[in-house]
């Protein structure tokens, strides 16, 4: 038995997203001399095929000796990776590099603003003692016997402060090197100066801005489509709120309001959006035959973190300053009645008020208070009871604040003067004084 081999190799390199790997062809097993001819043709065809991409082909005879090497340079050099822009501060070196597909017989000549740099003839360029005068375009001319190609120019920016933002960029947009910070955001669009520099957008008027989208969900998650790190200005994005088992989607909070789901958002700026999910309100509030509604800037939600009864309670929606969140029950009572419930508040900047059939009640809850019982008078027939949680303007960050309601009950009194504890005060009156 005889065998022949055809080996192909390819310079290993890395393009933007693709690793070139070495090619190899397993030995071709031959039974007789005629098959060897066929195998040679196969090897040659493989060689031509791979040569078209690799520009390197090595041919071996039967014992494995190298018999021919097709000239590597069938064309000018191919640049796999271009030099990359960099920002260099005092005391640091600058460096640029180029990666070429086939380095055989290749020469390099680096240029600064189009002029050859003396002695800069390697595939990498190291710049020591960088100063303001070093700022400019760097490129490299790569040549082989077949021709030459010039890399795309890469900027070296001078950064005297060492914060990563070039002096020239700061001066161009802000007229100052010292009064600009990397985290600054003069246009208030949620994208920092550093991000704007790298994205080539204008930090003073937002032109070309790439807004971000930060989404969050409690007891569920948000599916974003397309799900990108950054968006183009005014790009539309679809958000789908997906609740955890047992929870309902209540509404959106933050830079998005309402309860449409899915919902389309236009990225006019960087946005923070929270999807609010809750337990069912009748379950949380221990009621049956009551129609619950909720709304405002963000609706109330059922939850099981802060409760009076240890099971679940309703919590005001996560709202901002000068916003409100309301909870409303419609109930039918055949006679005079009371509505009773427990309520609680954790806030320095909000109030929880109650209205019955549109009439504001004097008893309210403000600032922080632990669970208390409250009661209000209802007339025969339909009654609408509304709890309104409102955040007011204050000169400090209120942090977390919310109100809770639990264990809502209704008691009807066919005899409104009944006095079950015989203290001379009707039950109806006593329950509304809680
Ligand atoms: Ca409850
Ligand atoms: Ca009594």
Pair 182, 245 in one domain: no
Ligand 1: distance of its center to the CA of 411 in Å? Answer: 17
At 243, list the tokens. 């609740």
The pLDDT of 23-27, averaged and rounded, is 38
Instruction: Give yes or no for a contact between 245 and 304, defined as CB atoms under 8 angstroms apart.
Output: no
Rounded percentage of the chain residues whose pLDDT exceeds 70? 82
Give the ligand whose atoms come closest to the C-alpha of residue 430.
2
Ligand 2: distance of its center to the CA of 338 in Å? Answer: 14
Q: How far apart are CA 319 and CA 317, in angstroms?
A: 6
Q: Is residue 176 part of a domain?
A: yes
| Residue 122 pLDDT greater than 90, yes or no | yes
Residue-number span of the structural domain to which 332 is assigned = 281-421+425-431
Give the ligand whose atoms come closest to the C-alpha of residue 315.
1
Pair 347, 373 in one domain: yes
Give the ligand whose atoms come closest to the C-alpha of residue 287.
1
Ligand 1: distance of its center to the CA of 314 in Å? Answer: 8
Pair 382, 269 in one domain: no
Give the ligand whose atoms come closest to the C-alpha of residue 424.
2
Ligand 1: distance of its center to the CA of 311 in Å? Answer: 5
Looking at residue 434, its pLDDT comes to 76
Q: Is residue 106 part of a domain?
A: yes
Q: Is residue 336 part of a domain?
A: yes
Longest Cα–Cα distance in the chain: 122
Ligand 2: distance of its center to the CA of 308 in Å? Answer: 25
Pair 288, 318 in one domain: yes
Ligand 2: distance of its center to the CA of 369 in Å? Answer: 27
Q: Is residue 205 part of a domain?
A: no
In degrees, to the nearest 5, what angle opens at C-alpha 182 toward C-alphas 176 and 187?
Answer: 80
- Torsion, Cα 174 180 186 189, to 10 degrees, reads 130
Q: How far apart are CA 62 and CA 70, in angstroms?
A: 18
**Domain of residue 112, CATH code:** 2.60.40.10
Pair 179, 83 in one domain: no
**Domain of residue 376, CATH code:** 2.60.120.260
Ligand 1: distance of its center to the CA of 292 in Å? Answer: 14
Looking at residue 396, its pLDDT comes to 57
Looking at residue 22, its pLDDT comes to 34
**Contacts with 106 (C-beta within 8 Å, 6 or more apart), sequence order:** 77, 100, 142, 143, 144
Pair 235, 258 in one domain: yes
Q: Is residue 207 part of a domain?
A: no
Q: How far apart are CA 326 and CA 297, in angstroms?
A: 9
When mean pLDDT is compared across 12-21, 102-111, 177-186, the lowest value belongs to: 12-21
Looking at residue 199, its pLDDT comes to 85
| Residue 61 pLDDT greater than 90, yes or no | no
Rounded percentage of the chain residues whose pLDDT exceeds 90? 61
Pair 300, 265 in one domain: no
Ligand 1: distance of its center to the CA of 368 in Å? Answer: 20
Pair 93, 150 in one domain: yes
Q: Is residue 332 part of a domain?
A: yes
Q: pLDDT, tens digit, for every residue of 367-399?
A: 788 999 999 999 999 999 999 999 886 655 556
User: Considering 48, 70, 92, which residue would you say is the last residue of a domain?
Assistant: 70
Ligand 2: distance of its center to the CA of 431 in Å? Answer: 9
Give the ligand whose atoms come closest to the C-alpha of residue 309.
1
User: Considering 252, 278, 304, which residue would you say is the last residue of a domain?
Assistant: 278
Instruction: For residue 189, name the pLDDT band (cuts at 50, 70, 90).
Output: confident
Ligand 1: distance of its center to the CA of 385 in Å? Answer: 18
Pair 63, 83 in one domain: no
Ligand 1: distance of its center to the CA of 358 in Å? Answer: 25
Q: How far apart are CA 270 and CA 292, in angstroms?
A: 34
The pLDDT of 332-352, averaged and rounded, is 93
Ligand 2: distance of its center to the CA of 417 in Å? Answer: 9
Q: How far apart are CA 428 and CA 412, in angstroms?
A: 9
What are the DSSP E strand ranges found in 76-114? 79-81, 86-89, 94-97, 99-100, 107-112
Pair 46, 155 in one domain: no
Instruction: For residue 33, name the pLDDT band (cuts at 50, 70, 90).
Output: very low
When mean pLDDT is compared across 26-30, 116-120, 177-181, 232-236, the lowest value belongs to: 26-30
Question: In terms of Cα–Cα distance, which of 330, 327, 321 is closest to 301?
Answer: 327
Instruction: Give yes or no for a contact between 231 and 212, defined as CB atoms under 8 angstroms apart.
Output: yes
- The residue count of the chain comes to 434
Q: Name the 3-class secondary structure at 352.
A: strand
Give the ligand whose atoms come closest to the C-alpha of residue 419.
2
Omega cis (within 30) before 226: yes
DSSP, res 25? -
The overall pTM is greater than 0.75:
no
The distance in angstroms from the start CA to the end CA of the chain is: 104
Q: Is residue 37 part of a domain?
A: yes
Give the ligand whose atoms come closest to the C-alpha of residue 420.
2
Pair 154, 171 in one domain: no
Q: pLDDT, tens digit, for every residue of 64-88?
A: 565 555 554 579 999 999 999 999 9
Looking at residue 11, its pLDDT comes to 39
Pair 411, 345 in one domain: yes
Looking at residue 67, its pLDDT comes to 54
The pLDDT of 16-41, averaged and rounded, is 40
Tally of domains within the chain? 5
User: Considering 24, 42, 70, which residue would you say is the last residue of a domain?
Assistant: 70
Residues with CB under 5 A from ligand 1 (ion): 286, 309, 311-312, 406
Q: Is residue 42 part of a domain?
A: yes
């Amino acid at each position: 038995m005889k065998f022949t081999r055809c080996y192909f190799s390819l310079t290993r390199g890395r393009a933007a997203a693709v690793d070139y790997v070495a090619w190899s062809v397993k030995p071709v097993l031959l039974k007789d001399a005629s098959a060897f001819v066929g195998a040679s043709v196969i090897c040659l065809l493989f060689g031509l095929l791979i040569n078209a991409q690799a520009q390197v082909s090595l041919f071996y005879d039967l014992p494995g000796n190298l018999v021919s090497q097709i000239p590597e340079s069938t064309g000018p050099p191919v640049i796999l990776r271009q030099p990359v822009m960099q920002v260099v501060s005092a005391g640091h070196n600058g460096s640029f590099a180029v990666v070429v597909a086939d380095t055989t017989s290749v020469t390099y000549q680096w240029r600064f603003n189009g002029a050859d740099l003396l002695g800069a003839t390697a595939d990498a360029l190291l710049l020591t003692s960088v100063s303001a005068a070093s700022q400019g375009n760097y490129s490299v001319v790569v040549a082989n016997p077949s021709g030459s190609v010039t890399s795309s120019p890469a900027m070296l920016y001078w950064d005297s402060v060492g914060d990563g933002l070039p002096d020239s960029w700061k001066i161009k947009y802000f007229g100052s090197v010292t009064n600009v910070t990397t985290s600054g955001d003069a246009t208030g669009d949620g994208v920092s100066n550093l991000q704007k520099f790298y994205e080539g957008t204008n930090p003073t008027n937002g032109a070309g801005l790439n807004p971000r989208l930060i989404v969050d969900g409690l007891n569920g998650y948000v599916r974003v489509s397309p799900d990108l790190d950054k968006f183009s200005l005014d790009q539309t994005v679809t958000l789908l709120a997906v609740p955890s088992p047992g929870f309902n989607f209540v509404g959106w909070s933050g830079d998005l309001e309402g309860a449409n789901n899915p919902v389309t958002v236009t990225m006019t700026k960087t946005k923070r959006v929270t999807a609010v999910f809750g337990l069912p309100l009748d379950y949380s509030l221990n009621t049956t035959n009551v129609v619950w509604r909720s709304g405002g800037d963000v609706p109330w939600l059922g939850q099981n973190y802060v409760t009076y009864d240890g099971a679940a309670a309703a919590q005001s929606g996560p709202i901002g300053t000068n916003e409100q969140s309301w909870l409303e029950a419609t109930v039918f009572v055949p006679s005079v009645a009371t509505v009773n419930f427990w309520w609680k508040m954790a806030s320095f900047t909000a109030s929880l008020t109650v209205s019955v059939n549109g009439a504001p009640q004097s008893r309210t809850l403000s600032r922080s208070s632990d669970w208390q019982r409250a009661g209000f008078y209802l007339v025969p027939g339909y009654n609408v009871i509304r709890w309104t949680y409102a955040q007011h303007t204050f000169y400090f960050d209120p942090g977390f604040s919310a109100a809770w309601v639990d264990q809502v009950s209704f008691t009807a009194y066919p005899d409104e003067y009944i006095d079950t504890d015989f203290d001379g005060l009707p039950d109806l009156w006593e329950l509304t004084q809680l």
